[in-house]
Structures are given as C-alpha cells and as structure tokens.
Amino acid sequence: MKTMVIVGAGRLLGMSLARQFGGNGYQVILIARNESKLIEMTVELQKHNIKAAYYSADIYEKNQISEVINEIYSIYGNIDILEFSPRIDHYAPSPVLSLTAEQVKDTFTGNVLGAIHCINEVLPVMLEKKSGALLFTSGLSAVYPNPQMADASIAKAGLRSYILSLEKELVLKGIFVGHIILGLFLKSDTGGIDDPDILAKYWYDKYTMSIYGEVIYPQSATSESVIRTLDLNDRVQL
C-alpha cells in the first residue's frame, strides 16, 4: 500500500485530500500541531475505511519534523507522496508600510524553511528509488504580491521559487513536483470550485495524469480575486 503524508493537515483541504487519496488505496498520515484536531480527523477517516494515522509536530521545529518523518519511514516503509500546505498564522497579515523583520522571518520560516526541512527528509529516498511526488498548495500572493499581506507575499514568493527550482531539477529524475496556487477561499460542501473536495479531486487528477508544474486555481483568478483583511480570523484554513 502506498503512503501519502499531508503536512499541515487541516479540516478543509487536508481532510479532503485524505479522503480522496485514501479512498483510492493510499494510507494517509496527517501531520499538524493540533493533536485533538488530528485525532478527530483520523477517527473520521477510519470510519470510512481509510487507513489513517497522525503525528503531532510543529512545522517551525526542524527536529520534530525530522523525528516524525523518520518514524513514518520506520513503521510504513516508504513515503510515496508528501503534500505541504501548513497554515502559518503566528501574526495577523501585515501591510507593507508597517511590516517588521520579525513578521517576515516568522512567515518565511513557516513557509520556506518548513518546506525545505520536510523535503530534505524525503528527497534522498525518493531520489534513490527514482519515484515519489511532492505536492504544494499555496496562495495567490505567490504570484501577485499583495501590499496588505506583505509578509505572506514575500514568503509565498520564496516558496514558489523553491518549488520551481525543485521541478527543474527533478523532472527527469522520476519525481513528480506539483504546485496549486489558490485564488479563492475554500468552503465545505458547496459542490463548486471552492469546495475542498473538488480541489482534492483536481489534485488527484493532476498527480495521476502526471501534469507537472504549477497552476493557478481557478485559472480565472487574478490579483484582484482575493481580498484579505487584517483580521487573523480571515486566514484560510487549508
């Protein structure tokens, strides 16, 4: 049985990805900070006959990520897919005119350094096996800088650069690299393109059909598509 690890698993996209891939024969491992949330999600998945487990770890703590991924390898034997979409929310989104170095450092650490730590744990094995997949889900500020959320814009742009570099290096090495850039807010049970279940199916098709590279979702999204306020509660939970 193949194994998918979801880093930053939340009740929206994380749960939908787990159902989509788990329903197609993958065992799913959820990683996030909130253990009580992880327990609820794992129990729900298991009720639907999906083989699921969880590990609590903070994306900001390199040692925690390393320990968890090493344990997954020791128990499950391999990681076939790693999906990275953590929610970074130590600070409210910061406008560029009041941006501080501390805010940028925090958001950059969670997005870029967190991704690098995770990928460095799985990439050597994937390269040795000449197979595997790295999936990234991020936001529209990766492409269109938003002065009202300058910290996220800087971090997401850095993450995008890292993903594009990975793709160039890995495309001929048997490792799939995909990036979906969200240009909308996710909302459960709408049945439309903003439904995380629809996005998860899109991710599954993109992966199984080997459609490499990045895509803006939906393709009609522009720099004006998503208006973000400075209220922390308005952050999207993936």
CATH number (domain holding residue 25)? 3.40.50.720
- Domain total in the chain: 1
Condensed to tens digits (0 to 9), the pLDDT of residues 101-117 reads 999 999 999 999 999 99
Q: pTM for this one?
A: 0.93
Residue whose tokens read 């208006």: 227
Q: Does pLDDT of 18 surpass 70?
A: yes
Measured distance CA(94)–CA(132) in Å, rounded: 36
pLDDT tens readout for residues 181-193 = 999 999 999 999 9
CA angle, residues 12, 85, 44, in degrees to nearest 5: 35
* CA 43 to chain CA mean position, Å: 21
Range of the domain at 159: 3-234
**What digits encode the pLDDT tens for the residues 178-228?**
999 999 999 999 999 999 999 999 999 999 999 999 999 999 888 776 554
